[in-house]
C-alpha cells in the first residue's frame, strides 16, 4: 500500500512538470515571430527602427579605377547613406558622403593623381545613426605616376607669379643664371601673357563667346562662361568636337566642365602637342586647361 502511494505521488509530479512545460511552450509560440527576430538582432520591443542598435553590414566592395578617378561600389543589408574616406595614407584626409539612403552604394572619387596608391575606407550610416565601417583597402590609379601633379604644380607656380606681381619678380633669378627647364617655363609664361594681351586688345572673334581671354586654369567639375567658350572653341574643329548632337554639341554648349569637355580638351592638347605638351615633357593630353593650353586657346580667340 505504501509503495502504491509513492508511485502515485511520482506520477502526479511528472504530470505537473509536463503541464508546466506545455504552458511555457504554448506561451512562447504565442509570441509574434517579428518580436523574436527583433530581440535576436538587438531591436527594442517598441517595434521598427526606433530601437535599432545594429550597424549596416557592408559587403561586395569593388573599385573601378582610371587615371584620375575611382568609382567605389558596395552593398548593405539595410538602407543607409554612402560614405568613403580616402587619401594617400591611412590618415585619409578626404571624404565623400551622400545624404540619400540605399542598399546599393556607388561613390566617385575625383581629382586623383595618376599612378598613385590610395587608401580608402567604406562606411555606411543608417537612419538610427548606427555606422558600419569596413577595414582599410587600397587602389592604384592608372597612368604614369605624378603626370597630372607635374602639370598642376607648374601651372600653380605660374598662377602664383601672376597673383603676386612685382613681389615675385624681385625674387626671380636673372635670365643669365636660369637653367634650361627654368628658361622653358619662363618662355611658356611669357607666351601665355602675350596671347592674353593680344586677346584683350583684339577682342574675341569666336561667335558665342562672352569672354575675351582664358584667365584661369580649368578642370572637370568647374563651371562658368569660360567653360562655355572653351566648348565653343573645341567645337570649331571636327577633330576636337565635344559631341555630334545633344548637350555639348555645336550650338548646345553649356557652362559645365564635364567628361565630354575633358575628352575634347585632351584631343585639343594632342592636336597642338608641340605648343601645349612638349614643354612639360608630355606626349598625351591630361584634360587640364593650364597655362600652355590657355595660351593656345587665347591665340585662337585673338585670330
Task: Tell me the C-alpha to C-alpha distance, in Å, between residue 152 and each of 79, 111, 159, 199, 217.
Answer: 39, 11, 10, 24, 9
CA 197 to chain centroid, in Å, comes to 36
Widest CA span of the chain, in angstroms? 130
pLDDT band at residue 17 under the 50/70/90 scheme: very low
> Is 158 a residue whose pLDDT tops 60?
no
| Residues with Cβ within 8 Å of residue 202, at least 6 apart in sequence | 302
* pLDDT per position as a tens digit, 242-286: 999 888 899 989 999 999 999 999 999 999 999 999 999 999 999
Q: 131, 123 in Cβ contact below 8 A?
A: yes
DSSP 141-185: --SSTTHHHHHHHHHHHHHHHHHHTHHHHHHSPPGGG--HHHHHH
| Residues with Cβ within 8 Å of residue 215, at least 6 apart in sequence | 196, 226, 294
pLDDT the model gives residue 175 = 81
pLDDT band at residue 202 under the 50/70/90 scheme: low
> Is 203 a residue whose pLDDT tops 80?
no
> Is 35 a residue whose pLDDT tops 60?
no
More confident: 232 or 19: 232
pLDDT the model gives residue 207 = 81
Q: 128, 55 in Cβ contact below 8 A?
A: no
* pLDDT per position as a tens digit, 56-70: 999 999 999 998 889
Angle at 163 between CA 162 and CA 169, to 5 degrees: 60
pLDDT the model gives residue 7 = 54
Q: Find the range with the poorest average confidence among 86-100, 108-122, 150-164, 228-242.
A: 150-164
Average pLDDT, the chain: 78
* pLDDT per position as a tens digit, 159-189: 443 444 444 445 677 888 888 888 888 888 8
- Rounded to the nearest 5 percent, the helix, strand and coil shares of the chain are 45, 20, 35
* % of residues, the chain, pLDDT over 90: 47
What is d(CA 208, CA 250) in angstroms, rounded to the nearest whole number?
10
* In the block, residue with C-alpha cell 565601417: 133
* pLDDT per position as a tens digit, 123-148: 999 999 999 999 999 999 987 765 54
Amino acid at each position: 500500500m505504501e509503495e502504491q502511494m509513492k508511485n502515485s505521488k511520482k506520477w502526479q509530479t511528472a504530470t505537473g512538470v509536463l503541464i508546466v512545460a506545455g504552458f511555457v511552450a504554448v506561451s512562447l509560440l504565442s509570441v509574434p515571430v517579428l518580436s523574436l527576430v527583433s530581440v535576436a538582432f538587438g531591436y527594442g520591443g517598441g517595434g521598427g527602427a526606433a530601437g535599432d542598435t545594429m550597424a549596416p553590414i557592408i559587403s561586395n566592395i569593388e573599385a573601378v579605377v582610371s587615371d584620375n578617378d575611382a568609382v567605389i561600389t558596395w552593398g548593405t543589408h539595410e538602407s543607409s547613406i554612402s560614405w568613403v574616406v580616402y587619401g594617400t595614407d591611412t590618415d585619409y584626409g578626404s571624404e565623400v558622403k551622400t545624404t540619400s539612403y540605399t542598399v546599393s552604394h556607388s561613390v566617385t572619387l575625383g581629382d586623383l593623381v595618376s599612378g598613385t596608391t590610395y587608401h580608402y575606407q567604406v562606411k555606411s550610416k543608417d537612419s538610427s545613426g548606427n555606422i558600419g565601417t569596413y577595414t582599410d583597402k587600397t587602389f592604384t590609379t592608372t597612368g604614369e605616376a605624378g603626370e597630372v601633379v607635374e602639370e598642376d604644380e607648374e601651372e600653380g607656380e605660374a598662377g602664383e607669379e601672376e597673383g603676386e606681381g612685382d613681389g615675385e619678380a624681385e625674387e626671380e633669378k636673372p635670365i643669365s643664371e636660369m637653367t634650361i627647364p627654368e628658361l622653358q617655363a619662363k618662355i611658356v609664361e611669357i607666351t601665355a601673357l602675350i596671347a592674353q594681351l593680344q586677346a584683350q586688345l583684339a577682342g574675341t572673334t569666336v561667335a558665342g563667346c562672352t569672354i575675351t581671354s582664358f584667365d584661369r586654369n580649368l578642370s572637370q567639375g568647374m563651371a562658368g562662361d569660360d567653360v562655355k567658350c572653351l566648348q565653343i572653341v573645341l567645337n570649331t574643329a571636327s577633330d576636337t568636337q565635344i559631341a555630334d548632337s545633344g548637350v555639348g554639341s555645336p550650338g548646345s554648349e553649356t557652362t559645365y566642365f564635364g567628361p565630354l569637355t575633358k575628352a575634347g580638351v585632351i584631343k585639343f592638347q594632342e592636336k597642338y602637342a608641340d605648343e601645349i605638351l612638349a614643354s612639360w615633357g608630355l606626349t598625351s593630353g591630361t584634360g587640364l586647361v593650364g597655362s600652355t593650353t590657355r595660351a593656345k586657346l587665347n591665340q585662337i580667340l585673338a585670330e
